[in-house]
A and B are shown apart, each in its own frame.
Chain A
Amino acid sequence: MDKILVGLKRVVDYNVRVRVRNDGTGVETDGVKMSINPFDEIALEEALRLKERGEATEVVVVSIGTSDAQQQLRTGLAMGADRAILVEADADLDALSRARTLLEIVRREQPGLVILGKQAIDDDNNQTGQMLAALWERPQATFASEVVISGETARVTREVDVGLETIEIDLPAVITSDLRLNEPRYVKLPDIMKAKKKPLEELAFADLGIAESPQIKATAYAPPAERARGIMVDDVSGLVAALKDKGLL
């Protein structure tokens, strides 16, 4: 295939312990470290490996978000993507609008494969890839742990609740990455320098003519219920006694 399209979402870094703002109107993101969504990094790594194996000739990364997402696109270019597209939009744009935006990019770029992360670790929605596949009327292979391309089809192994499921899909298609698909490479300094010269196209969401989606509104943010502080026991007999006390043994 000619081209693989990969989505990169800018999210609060994996290691940050997120807190609700004091006034309950949202999540505190001021001064917080931002990164590429980890599943998207895995998606990009898979695209780069497919290109390195000669299965594709170009890897294009796309992000939908504020202009700050240029940082994540530059990181993607430093990892090895050839070109980047930023669709400037609100950071909290809804999933259906994101899927419709990606469909518009797909129409322009005509990729043979789209790889997205299975979920973003901020809203944990796990829906954009499936939505894009539906709107595009193409196959989806979600939660991928292995991808094998052969000509016009791909065999994808999926991490499902009971084990590993393998399906065969016709291309073009949408694949969403799970944790064990690969281990993303580290970016090297010379690649960061090279990435500065790679093309980064900027589009405005408002100019793409995307239909308005019915919005699900977040009306309140709260921390989860806390568990009460427990007890410490000194040894196995103390543990057994405590469990018997609760009627669990």
Chain B
Amino acid sequence: MTKILVIAEHDGQELNPSTAKTVACAAELDGATIDVVVFADSAATVAAQVAQLDSVSRVLTVENPANAKALAAVLAPQVAALAADYSHVFGPSTTFGKDLMPRVAALLGVNQISDVMGVLGAHEFQRPIYAGNVVITVAAPSGHPVVATVRTASYKAVGNGNTAPVEAAACDADIPAHTRYIELQAGKSDRPDLQTAAKVVSGGRALGSAENFDIIYALADKMGAGVGASRAAVDAGYVPNEMQVGQTGKIIAPDLYVAIGISGAIQHLTGIKDAGTIVAINKDAEAPIFEVADIGLVGDLFDIVPELTSSLG
């Protein structure tokens, strides 16, 4: 029996889209029963959103004031306690899941399968290593729970046509007090979310300053696109860390990705290789970004980008 427990990612109000993609991966296991658990202070709002996700059998809620913020040390023993009834435990390969799931795996005495990008069987998966330069097939041992994170860019979210039952789950676990949430500084943006946007415009070090990044924002706003950046642009302080795309930033799969002034280090390319169409604008005709671009334009971005923005009416 394949019984999969998926850990919902949310902020207390809104379900993160990573959850519907993790469920999509779980649904690729033949004959799987999929339950999704919501850990929260008050779970009803998020649970109602989870209940709509196709392929979900049951929504479990674990309400506890300690669960108001997602702290791995607090959630892991609770997940491990629930895991006894399941053959698989899946979470998204977002910073939430990357923080939590290995802690769960260790409590269950198994290794984690990180960044699942393909399901070949109940115990056989594909995942990337070396910044996506190699794809390995891995076989998990039978007779042990499978703990995995799902590379969300590899999956399309399941639909919202379901009405799964919501049940409060009994969860008996010792919750530590040694880890305390202090605050979150979140970038406020009205632009489409980088991880789910259909179109993304990204800028690199060639922008030269935070002020110059305004031409990237102007183009993105004209296109209705989210905005990303290369590691170099983040390291230089042009934009905040949450905009970084790549091996150690966000892995994204928009329909259209426009890379502006980004040379295309392999660590960046691994973050965009599932994009539908990649456009590269760079003054260096030899830049590696052109090797993966579907449409390339060589020239000065400070001429091209404003012209492109105004030509979009």
Contact = CB atoms under 8 A, between A and B. Distances in A.
Interface of A: 12, 17-20, 27, 94-96, 99, 118-119, 121-135, 137-140, 142-143, 145, 155, 158-170, 173, 178-180, 213-224, 227-228, 230-240, 242-243, 246, 248-249
Q: Which 5 residue pairs of A and B lie closest in terms of their CB atoms, listed nearest first? A: A127-B102, A130-B102, A131-B106, A134-B106, A230-B294
Contacts, number: 248
Contacts of A231: 294-296
Contact of A163 (B181, B242, B308, B311): B242
B35 interface: no
Nearest to A228: B294
A213 B235 CA distance: 38
A128 B102 CA distance: 8
Nearest to B141: A214
A217 B73 contact: no
B99 A142 contact: yes
Nearest to A138: B178
A154 B13 CA distance: 29
B240 interface: yes
B83 to A, nearest CB: 13
Q: Is the interface of A mostly helix, strand, loop or mixed?
A: mixed
Contacts of A230: 278, 290, 292-296
B138 A218 contact: yes
A214 B130 contact: no
25 contacts: A17-B133, A19-B133, A27-B130, A95-B112, A124-B114, A130-B101, A132-B106, A133-B103, A161-B95, A162-B184, A162-B186, A163-B187, A164-B184, A166-B182, A166-B184, A168-B179, A170-B179, A214-B140, A216-B111, A219-B138, A224-B134, A228-B294, A231-B294, A231-B295, A240-B312
B297 A161 contact: no
Contacts of A224: 128, 132-135, 273
Nearest to B143: A214
